[in-house]
Chain A
Amino acid sequence: MNKLKCLKINKVKNKKAQEEIVGFVLIVLVVSVVLLVFLGIFLRKDTNKTGDSEVSQFLDSISETTTECSFNGGYSYIKYSELIASCNEGKICSSGGACDILKNVTKNLIESSWNFSPTNGPKTGYRFEAFFEAENSDVRQPLPISDSGTISRLSGGSSFVGDEKTFPVTDGSLTIQLNLYLD
């Protein structure tokens, strides 16, 4: 009789303990879900920004500048935007290959415009790319301005600001893109 009573008491105790555990697990689950949602929101936040006004102004301004490339022995010199098209066509200027001049001019202009410092500056590095996109095609072909198709000075920087500018040409479009890496 006593054994039966003991068994009944144990059964009731076990059921109560199970209920407590279920409650506890539910609370832990709710808290975990809330934490996961917040973590997701904060981690998804993109720190990179395209369409930066400073870079946009820079790209607009350099496209009008006079370069040292001439196709008529120094009678006239072409603009930066024309130099990109000449590089795409593989032309040779009086003073060298259009792509080599494009690389040197771009590097000089970018590095004279901002101070890049891997430790002290707000800007740590940059990456410049130029592409050709044929009409009715989504494939971007990098211009041969270097072996990697880019001009860059990268030294860390977790986020970047940047912009791109497109120039229409007869059989498609040319795009230049500049990203500045921030400390």
Chain B
Amino acid sequence: MATLYAQYSKGQMKIQQMAFVLVALMIFFGMVALVYFSFSISNLRENAQELKEREAVEIVKKISYSPEFVFTGEDCSSCVDLDKILMLKESSKYEKFWNLDYLTVEKVSNETSNECNRFNYPNCNVITVVRETSNFGSANVAFVTLARWDSGLGAGGGFRYELGKIYASGRNLTRR
């Protein structure tokens, strides 16, 4: 009788052991799955953020293709007309036109920021077209080629192309 009791107890122990191992394995695989899903979700968030940023940059780029900005003097696909933009800055009609809080065109250079007006143009590097508020957050940026007439370029003058940036910020744009 005592022998039978001992055998039954060993079997129980074996089943218990197996159950513990199975539970431990389940917990392990569960943890691995948790780590995997947390990585995948963080990747998804990163991708979504990247897409939003790209979309915002594309919107800024779209502004540079608008008739008010685009350069038509010579064949240049990514050029904006700096002379036109200076005129836009002076026109109050365009303040609400793009529904933006901030729209600036900047010439890329090592010089300190110098706002353009009729008197210092083209010896300046920033044209602020719209500035509705000082608290516009972080603006979205797109690189463009700035084209302007330079009477001192070559013989009889010519179009000078320079590297520039367009900064735009507003409720319609996704902020970075």
Contact = CB atoms under 8 A, between A and B. Distances in A.
Q: Do A and B come from one complex?
A: yes
Nearest to B25: A27
B79 A64 contact: yes
B30 interface: no
Interface stretch (B83-91, B92-100, B137-145): B137-145
A65 B54 CA distance: 24
Interface residues of B, number: 35
Interface stretch (A53-61, A138-146, A148-156): A53-61
A62 B161 CA distance: 9
Contacts of A109: 108, 163
Contacts of B158: 76-77
B110 A65 contact: no
B161 A60 contact: no
Given A27-B21, A42-B39, A112-B108, A76 B78 contact: no
A65 B143 contact: no
A166 to B, nearest CB: 16
Interface in B91-119: 108-110
Interface in A32-69: 34-35, 38, 42, 53-54, 57-58, 60-62, 64-66
B54 A53 contact: yes
Interface in A3-27: 23, 27
Contact of A34 (B32, B76, B142): B32
Say whether chain A's binding surface is mostly helix, strand, loop, or mixed.
Answer: helix
A61 B78 contact: yes
A75 B35 CA distance: 66
A77 B153 contact: yes
Secondary structure at chain B's binding surface: helix, strand, loop or mixed? mixed
B162 A112 contact: no
Given A27-B21, A57-B61, A76-B154, A66 B143 contact: no
B8 interface: no
A74 interface: yes
Interface residues of A, number: 29
Interface string B28-55: 1100100110010000000000000010
B6 interface: no
A60 B110 contact: no
A31 interface: yes
A77 B154 contact: yes
A142 to B, nearest CB: 24
A108 interface: yes
Residue with the highest number of chain A CB atoms closer than 10 Å, among B141, B145, B160, B162: B145
17 contacts: A27-B21, A34-B28, A34-B29, A53-B57, A58-B143, A61-B164, A65-B145, A65-B161, A66-B162, A74-B154, A76-B158, A79-B161, A108-B110, A109-B108, A109-B163, A112-B110, A113-B163
Given A65-B162, A79-B161, 12 more contacts: A27-B25, A42-B39, A58-B143, A60-B77, A60-B143, A61-B163, A64-B161, A65-B161, A65-B163, A66-B153, A66-B159, A66-B161
Interface of A: 23, 27, 30-31, 34-35, 38, 42, 53-54, 57-58, 60-62, 64-66, 70, 74-77, 79, 108-109, 111-113
